[in-house]
Chains A and B, each alone.
Chain A
Amino acid sequence: MERGYRIRSKPLYDPLIWKEHATDHVVIAHAEGGVGVLKLFQMMTPKQPIKVLFADDARAQRSYRDIISKLVDEGLQILDDKEGVLSAVSATLDDCVMGTQFYIAGNEDFIWAASQILKSAGVDDKNVMKEQCGSLARPVYCVHCKTIDPEVHHNVYTCPGCGRHLFVRDHFSRRLGAYMGLMVDAEEPGNIPEVEEMYP
């Protein structure tokens, strides 16, 4: 690791904290993002109306819906899966006004899928609180064939679109909601560095 150097586009995330000034609050979470929601509800809850949109990950062992249902008494919508949460976000946006605060918790793929829906409604991701929860798996797009793999765990992976071996970079596209993946053996075909799990 080179010290004192960073890729500016690499997103940084913070724990969710209620914003003081608001007309209302919308919390959007998936899977391990449930922990982010639980932490939020351990703080003093704001006076303005709150909406929580949450779905467990059916593949995961851990479920948070029951605990969240106990803690959140109003405005809770439990959905079946990630897609369910995202379409609930779209449906909610029509009723939102300037002053609505948005909070997203989940893995990076989910955070940016939700951010893109907010962006299409004119909400800048700078103004959205985002907490990365659970897996560090990265959404990565292949710069050669444009296929996005939503959950990449290794430094080098095989593109599901074109089969190239791609190296995962820190460069991140907010428009695509994914990191950049570049062919790793373009210079010397077959010369692939050791594959290591970097994003467990």
Chain B
Amino acid sequence: MSVLNVTVEKVEQITDVVKQFTFVQDNGEALPKFSGGSHVVVSMDINGRTHRNPYSLMSSPANTDSYQIAVRRQDKSRGGSVFMHDQVKPGTKLTITYPVNLFAINRLGKKHILVAGGIGITPFMSQIADLNRLGADYELHYAYRSSEHAAFREQLEELCGDRVHFYVEGDGTRIDFGDLLGQQPLGTHAYVCGPEPMVKMMLLTAKYLGWPSNHVHSEQFLAPPVGDEFTVVLNQSAKEIVVPGDMSMLEAMEEAGVDAPFLCRGGACGRCELDVLETDGALLHHDHYLSDAEKAAGNKIMPCVSRAKCTRLVVNL
């Protein structure tokens, strides 16, 4: 997969736990154009092991001299965000993938309701630039834990004017999805990015109010969960690869030199889907891509976030 070689131009501390990074291309050229809601996958070399994490681009699509991402520090995870916070400084060289958009604005929408929780604000930053440019009707509803966690609030007030509404959990203000979605005009699309309970709450509320599913959009990148060690067998190349507990199946295959397909690395896009031929245990699905029925059928797996509780898993690769 072709990559972009970038240098970190600027690192800004936005809140206690959020840092913003600005990337420019090493060859001095402008970066590829992208649409609002796109993300890139950043590769990090952590103790000799390659980590790849997806991050939404939050700069305006109108400006491709640089890209900006924001990273929330997650101490209890596999170390990607901690690496970004502690090791990445201005001048650090990184490789990123070309931007991919799995969370685009529907251009036919008459109105757009954007709902962000915490660091889930990032994809909306670039979408808002697009919506402003198109002169589209939109509202942004941004919920965060406390005023210290209000990342980008001033920037959003400037970008959105009175279209933005803030909800501070610490003050007891919460988004009431029934109120929010119950009286929207025909042709409205709703978008949510944030913690899982919030995403689920909005999707369920929309469903019960009778919103068609193609008017409701969500994006959640998942970190691969930690689990037990198992062995994955690649049917076509007859390779046997041990997947350690703290590595995803996809990462283990990549470490072993296998050129496995991937795009988002967060269980959202479905690009890395593999056919499961055989297992002596159970598949642990963590993705948002497969339907419940497909998960239950147990013959497909998304190796970027899903794993297995077994000794041996045979996939068709």
Contact = CB atoms under 8 A, between A and B. Distances in A.
A122 B188 contact: yes
Contacts of A96: 185-186
Contacts of B209: 21-23, 98-99
Interface string A99-137: 111000000000000000000011110110000000000
B260 interface: no
Interface stretch (B167-175, B194-202, B211-219, B229-237): B211-219
Contact of A98 (B108, B185, B208, B214): B185
Contacts of A23: 182, 209-210
B27 interface: no
Contact of B184 (A21, A93, A97, A121): A97
A97 B212 CA distance: 12
Interface in B172-194: 181-188
Interface in A51-104: 93, 96-101
B163 interface: no
A126 B183 CA distance: 22
B21 to A, nearest CB: 37
B298 interface: no
Given A98-B181, A98-B215, A121 B210 contact: no
Contacts of A98: 181, 184-188, 209-211, 215
B110 A97 contact: no
Interface residues of A, number: 17
Contact of A22 (B184, B186, B210): B210
A97 B182 contact: yes
A124 B214 CA distance: 9
Tell me the interface secondary structure of chain B in the complex. loop
Interface string B87-124: 00000000000000000000011100000000000000
B228 to A, nearest CB: 40
A117 to B, nearest CB: 11
Contacts of B188: 98, 122
Contact of B210 (A19, A122, A124): A19
B207 interface: yes
A136 B262 CA distance: 47
A147 to B, nearest CB: 28
Given A96-B186, A100-B186, A122 B109 contact: yes
Contacts of B215: 98, 124, 127
A122 B108 contact: yes
B182 A121 contact: no
Interface string B50-74: 0000000000000000000000000
B182 A122 contact: no
A2 B212 CA distance: 35
Given A93-B186, A122-B188, A99 B210 contact: yes
Contacts of B212: 124, 126-127
A51 to B, nearest CB: 14
Contacts of A101: 210
Contacts of B183: 97
Interface in A158-187: none
A122 B232 CA distance: 48
A126 B182 contact: no
B214 to A, nearest CB: 7
B187 A99 contact: no
Contacts of B214: 124, 126-127
A145 to B, nearest CB: 29
7 contacts: A21-B210, A23-B209, A97-B183, A98-B186, A98-B211, A101-B210, A127-B215
Interface of B: 108-110, 181-188, 207-212, 214-215
Interface of A: 19, 21-23, 93, 96-101, 121-124, 126-127
Given A122-B109, A122-B187, 19 more contacts: A21-B207, A21-B208, A21-B210, A96-B185, A97-B183, A97-B184, A97-B186, A98-B181, A98-B184, A98-B185, A98-B186, A98-B187, A98-B210, A101-B210, A122-B108, A122-B110, A123-B186, A123-B187, A126-B214
